[in-house]
Amino acid sequence: MLFFPKLRIFLAMTEAAESLAKAGIPFREYGVTAVDSYCGLSAPQSPGFYLVEGSIIDLARIFESLHYPSLPYADAGLDSAEKDSAARFLCTENLDRKRLGCLALTDFRRNPLDGKYYDPRGVYQALRERSFDPSGEDQENRLFEICLYLSRLKKRDTTTIPKLALPAAPSKLWQKDLLSHILQGPNSSAALEFLGQTGFVARFWPELEALVQVDHAKDCHPEGGGWSHTMEALRYRKTRDVSLSLAILLHDIGKARSASREGRRFDKHAEIGAGMAARFLRDLGYNDMIIEDVRFMIRWHMLPAALPRIPISSVQDIVFDQRFPLLLELFRCDEFSSFKGPDVYYAACAAYRAFQKFEKNPYRERDGRKRSKYSTAHSPGVF
């Protein structure tokens, strides 16, 4: 079945897709990559899934850093050391091959060259309703596929998902792809809740499972304990940037290992959590840039609340870091998920804007004080 959804044709391609097109290799986006295009999710998710009419040898001719991950959904893979931009390739002799995965949604595909969608198993109505039916036999990789679509679409109310067998030994790359795709969906919390119910989180991601045991005071966190708070915080995202989403997911994991001290319920949980998050992400194979950005945001996620009351000189390296706007977004999600209202967040933003204003003013120090005559005369651009 071939159709053109109104206002849904996006011709922008990733670097991997452009390389395939230039090499003349026929290909299609498939599964969640095609679903995201149809649903109008702006930024291409990583990794992207591509069905390629050719062999691994054909791919190796155009991609120098191709690797062979032995994944249920990919014969070959491509990853970037500079940013978390990746591709997974499934090779076939025929692009009209109908069976690509356990769920019918995985067979949905798109040609980035002309924006046409192909629907061999009739999931168009489900996509229009933004829902899906996960019923079917328990097959390899079904858990992976269900989580990906739960993070983007809604499970039909009349459908119950039977208990799934957990993978015996999922590779780190499989786990990384799973987590990255879940967090790049608008309904990440729904997929993570389901993953927790299956027992997967407890078995393979115990750092996250420990959040279930974090008990919050109801007056500060009416939304619930550590896990409930984290799921609520994810719902407040305005962007599904991978680094930010990982930071929100992991920002409180240090609470499970922190102690009460001098009236502080979870003393130094930000410092503890930053180290735990870095180890967790490194174990899954995330690149150094992602890890460092997440570590920075978690380490300082409590700072914005104090920003209006502390001298800029004590935190200027943090505040003028290019990642600070993402840190403010983490703080917003953290605050709003506790139903505290916007006042503290807006005060932090006002203080940040004031610091930026003084930074650009040749007659003011970063803290707003007037520069001395000597420093003003020698400021760049002042004559």
Residue 339 lies in a domain: yes
Q: Give the three-class secondary structure for 212.
A: helix
State residue 247's pLDDT score: 97
Instruction: Say how many residues make up the chain.
Output: 383
Residue 302 lies in a domain: yes
Buried b (16+ CB within 10 A) or exposed e, 109-148: bbbbeeeebbbbeebeebbeeeebebeeeeeebbbbbbbb
Residue type at 149? Y
State residue 58's pLDDT score: 95
Here the CATH number for the domain that contains residue 285 is 1.10.3210
Residue 366 lies in a domain: yes
Q: What is the pTM of this model?
A: 0.86
Residue 84 lies in a domain: no
Tens of pLDDT, residue by residue, the chain (383 residues): 444 443 333 346 788 999 999 999 999 999 999 999 998 876 667 899 999 999 999 999 999 899 999 899 999 999 876 555 689 999 999 998 888 988 999 999 999 999 999 999 999 999 999 998 887 666 778 999 999 999 999 887 656 677 788 988 999 999 999 999 999 999 999 999 999 999 999 999 999 999 988 876 565 656 668 899 999 999 999 988 999 999 999 999 999 887 777 656 677 899 999 999 999 999 999 999 999 999 999 999 999 999 999 888 888 889 999 999 999 999 999 999 887 789 999 999 999 988 888 666 554 555 555 555 544 444 444 32
Please answer whether residues 124 and 2 qualify as being in contact, where contact means their C-beta atoms are separated by less than 8 angstroms. Answer: no
- Strand partners of residue 130: none
Residue 330 lies in a domain: yes
The domain containing residue 296 runs over which residues? 222-383
Overall domain count for the chain: 1
Residue type at 44? P
- Strand partners of residue 51: 28, 90
Residue 22 lies in a domain: no
State residue 242's pLDDT score: 92
- Strand partners of residue 88: 49, 77
Q: Report d(CA 206, CA 256) in Å as an integer.
A: 11
Please answer whether residues 229 and 216 qualify as being in contact, where contact means their C-beta atoms are separated by less than 8 angstroms. Answer: yes
Residue 9 lies in a domain: no
Residue 239 lies in a domain: yes
Please answer whether residues 333 and 233 qualify as being in contact, where contact means their C-beta atoms are separated by less than 8 angstroms. Answer: yes
Closest CA to 140 of 110, 174, 96, 109: 174
